[in-house]
Structure 1
Amino acid sequence: MKTKFTILIVVLLAWTGSTYAQDIETVFHGSGNGISIGGYGALSNKFTKIRGEYANYVEAYGGVYLNHRFLIGIGGGATTNNLPVPLQYSTMPDAKLSYQYGQCGLVTEYVLASNRAVHLVAHLFTGAGFTLQYDRHDWSDERFDDLDDHRDENWFVVAEPGIQVEINLFRWARLSPGISYRKAFGSEGRGLDDGDLSSISYNATLKFGVF
């Protein structure tokens, strides 16, 4: 009886494994077996606009990947280039200040036909955004302390849905160029209303992990 029970358990485990396994096509290594629960991290560079000016935005996110379809995780990022503050909105008119934009929060992705070498991904960010003014041209601690009380820190809600075309480079790496639309709600920064912060983003994303 014990032997029959052991055989039954082995058969059930093998059946379960075969049920959740799938072949994942990749550009360089053909196909292989997937798993039902995994996870991955992503690095993304976005090209967007703040107040109508070009802005470069770097982002990182990651989380748990369920059944080769659904990612739930967290992420955040910030702008990296100079976004000059117009004189009439500057908290320190005698300094050349720049706007800083950032956001952090929940990231979800739904992947269509993840096993295909090329497929689509629906992406959604929801969370908090912030802006502030800072002196990009003088990073001394003394100067930053002087700006601390005048930087116009501004927090608001952000929602950013998007879509990506995902390419399985390897079983552990994917390239996902895409497009998204960022919508801000409740911004009260000087010279930065919701319309100034809401814009289309074009992005290139690299993902690494267990898919």
Structure 2
Amino acid sequence: MKYLIHILLILVFTSGAFGQRYMDTNDPNDEEVKSLLSTKNDLNAFGAADLKVGDFKGERGLLVGAYGGFIINRRYLFGVAGYGLVTKVEFEGVVPGATEPKNLNLHGGYGGVLIGGTIAHKELVHISIPIVLGAGSLEVVDKDFFLNNPADSEFTIENSVFFVAEPGIELEFNITKYFRLGAGMTYRYISGTELENVKDEDVSGTTAMISFRFGRF
């Protein structure tokens, strides 16, 4: 997994070489050092919404999220992102003090810093590489814990925070000058969960995604 992240990071910061031809003026009077955050760079804001489908504890789940930030030189993405599990993920687990397993529910979400880039951004169909690095939380809930209170019967059995790294790759389509539609896959790597009913590998894995991105591209 760490090798995949390294490869994608390299692709992000070298995508400019594939996106447009480098022009060297050979001007001896031009002594300006080129830098990513130079004031002469083209800087535009963007926002996006994502739908992601993947497996959590052996059950198919839907993540809904959003991200936004800035596009530098129409290639590099910097911003923040956040996602939440919106569908019911039910599994058989253990409740402290109980003698038999029960049906429990998993709730959670994550967010963090978004970095990324595009390859051949001027083309109708091009490649986008988003990477999310951050943290999240998970809750294991017994929805029938308080049987004598039908209005609010849920009880959180256990919860934990975790680290997340999620690199992805998608094909992106230029629908208009201000709207792009993407479809691809990510790998969600989760580490550091401290739960009796859920392990890191239960919530790590690949997801299919659809992205709706708005901005000045």
When normalised by structure 1's length, the TM-score is 0.74
**Counterpart-to-counterpart distance in 2, 1:173 and 1:117:** 12
Partner of 1:143: 152
Structure 2 residue identity aligned to 1:143? D
| Greater mean deviation of Cα atoms: 58-67 or 85-94 | 85-94
Q: Deviations over 1:159-186 (max 9, x none)?
A: 0111010000000000010101011111
**Counterpart-to-counterpart distance in 2, 1:62 and 1:159:** 17
Matched, 1:61 2:67: yes
Structure 2 residue identity aligned to 1:36? D
**Pairs aligned (count):** 173
SS class of match (1:153): strand
Structure 2 residue identity aligned to 1:105? G
Q: Deviations over 1:16-49 (max 9, x none)?
A: xxxxxxxxxxxxxxxxxxx921121111101100
Q: Deviations over 1:56-101 (max 9, x none)?
A: 1111101011000111000111111111142425798898541012
**Counterpart-to-counterpart distance in 2, 1:106 and 1:141:** 40
Matched, 1:132 2:139: yes
Contact 2:92/2:103, CA 8 A, preserved across alignment: no
**Counterpart-to-counterpart distance in 2, 1:58 and 1:204:** 10
Which of 179, 182, 186 is matched with 1:180 structurally?
Answer: 186
> Aligned in 2, Cα 1:91/1:62: closer, same or farther, shift over 3 Å?
farther
Structure 1 position 51, deviation (Å): 1.3
Which of 203, 207, 210 is matched with 2:209 structurally?
Answer: 203
Once the two structures are superposed, the pairs formed by residues 68-147 of structure 1 within 5 Å of their partners are 68-89=74-95, 97-134=104-141, 143=152, 147=155
Question: Which ranges in structure 1 are unaligned for 5 or more consecutive residues?
Answer: 1-34
**Counterpart-to-counterpart distance in 2, 1:102 and 1:180:** 16
Structure 1's consecutive aligned runs of 4 or more residues displaced over 4 angstroms after TM superposition are: 89-96, 135-138
Q: Deviations over 1:140-170 (max 9, x none)?
A: 99727x72xx341210100011101000000
Q: Deviations over 1:99-153 (max 9, x none)?
A: 0121010111211111111100111010002110236689x99727x72xx3412
Q: Which has the larger radius of gyration?
A: 1
**Counterpart-to-counterpart distance in 2, 1:75 and 1:141:** 36
Partner of 1:36: 42
Q: Percent same amino acid among aligned pairs? A: 27
Question: How large is the RMSD of aligned CA atoms in angstroms?
Answer: 2.6
Structure 2 residue identity aligned to 1:43? A
**Counterpart-to-counterpart distance in 1, 2:165 and 2:97:** 28
Which of 146, 168, 173 is matched with 2:174 structurally?
Answer: 168
Contact 2:92/2:101, CA 8 A, preserved across alignment: no
Question: Which ranges in structure 2 are unaligned for 5 or more consecutive residues?
Answer: 1-40
**Counterpart-to-counterpart distance in 2, 1:197 and 1:142:** 30
Partner of 1:20: none
SS class of match (1:195): helix
